[in-house]
Structures are given as C-alpha cells and as structure tokens.
Amino acid sequence: MDEGKEPLGSMGNDTTLACLSMRPRMSYDYFKQLFAQVTNPPIDPIREEVVMSLACYTGPMGNILELHPSQCRRLRLHSPILSVDDLQCLRNIDSYDSDWRVAEIDITFPKIQGVNGYISALDTICLNVEDAIKSGFKIAILSDYDISPQKVAISGLLALGAVHHHLVKLKLRSRIALVVETGEAREVHQFCVLLGYGADASKVLFLTCSLSVFGF
C-alpha cells in the first residue's frame, strides 16, 4: 500500500468455519464471503468516481412513502467509514446545527458482573437508544471508548445488532442514525459486517476518509 499498489488476495474466504473452532473467535468470524461474491472488476470509487461513489445519507428518514421537504434534511457522508477526526466532527455537529443532537451510548459494563452483566448490558443499551429517540436525538454513537481493566466492552457487532432489531421491532429504526465507535473492528470484512448489520457509519483508526457535515 505504501507504493500505491492494490494488495493481492483471494476472492473469498476458505478458512475453517468459526463454529467448528475449539478456540474463542470474534463474532465477525462467524460471517464470511463465499467465492465469487464480488464484482468483477472490483468496485473502485477512487479511479471510477465518475460512475460510482461510496457517499451515503444518514439520519432520521421519517416516512419513506411521504414526499416532504423535511425528508431531505439528512447528513451526506463521503464514506460510511469514518476517521477519528470525522467522528469528532460528527460528535460536535450540534454546534453547527442545534437540531442535530448526538447521544453517546456506552457499550461497556463492569467486568465483575460476568455473563449476567453482559446480557443485562445489552438490554440497557437498547433501552438507552430507545430513550434517546424519544428525547429527540438524531444520532446515537455506540462506543466502547470507556473500556478499562475494570470494564469490559460488549462486541460492537452484537450491540449494534441488538439495537437495530430492537428498534425495528418497535418501528423506530428510521428515526435515528446508528454510528459504531469500536476498537474491535480492524479489517475490511469486519467493517462490512457492521454496515450489513445496520450501522449507518463506523469509525476506523487507520484509514483517512472525509465527512461532509454540511451536506444537507
């Protein structure tokens, strides 16, 4: 990558299934791309920016069957993968527009609580996001930043999936954007799984992408 060349790799994953492993595996490992499940040639938003883009819109959608100017008031992200600076910009967006309120949802729990604490923390996270919607917040950031020797982080993928389906069940999912801030996801596949499970955007530590907070 330092030379500006694309890395070569297999068009799929033929490693052993995670469910057959005798060792602990990350939740992302239980999802895999089969061979030939890619575009050919590969999608290239940099060299083919004239015909494609990774830009996406996020924020409350409202009733998608209703045509109203308020439906256009959404954020335009140049990419669903955010850098650290992008995320900080998103966190402080209410300083530019007071209508965009951001809720910080902690996805860690005390280590001493064990497995029961893990399960109850998932319920608490879902309820916190639900309360954020009722309080008028438009963006919820699920963050494991508060991790420490005394606090354990819930898998970002598991927390996201739980919140997404909880909101779908309550018919509230379209009223808030879900952003995941986690040090757990480090590979392209892991970020793709997060986006596939309902994340509007996710933070990456090592890539540099741009965020337009004024794209509405």
Least confident residue range of 123-132, 162-171, 187-196, 204-213: 204-213
For residues 85-109, give the mean pLDDT: 89
Whether residue 108 is predicted with pLDDT greater than 90 in this model: the reply is: yes
CA–CA distance, 140 with 128 (Å, rounded to integer)? 9
Whether 200 contacts 189, CB under 8 Å: no
- More confidently predicted of 15 and 149: 149
- More confidently predicted of 56 and 124: 124
In DSSP terms, 201 is beta-bridged to: 179
Query: Which residues have CB under 8 Å from 181's CB, separation 6+?
Result: 87, 141, 142, 143, 144, 145, 156, 202, 203
- The fold for domain 18-212 equals TIM Barrel (3.20.20)
pLDDT at 204: 57
pLDDT at 215: 34
pLDDT at 211: 34
Whether residue 175 is predicted with pLDDT greater than 80 in this model: the reply is: yes
Whether residue 125 is predicted with pLDDT greater than 50 in this model: the reply is: yes
For residues 75-95, give the mean pLDDT: 87
Strand 211-212: give its sheet, edge to edge. 56-58, 75-77, 211-212
Whether 140 contacts 176, CB under 8 Å: yes
For residues 76-86, give the mean pLDDT: 87
The pLDDT confidence band at residue 214, using thresholds 50, 70 and 90, is: very low
Least confident residue range of 94-108, 138-152, 159-173, 195-209: 195-209
pLDDT at 76: 87
pLDDT per residue over 127-147, tens digit each? 999 999 999 999 999 999 999
For residues 155-168, give the mean pLDDT: 94
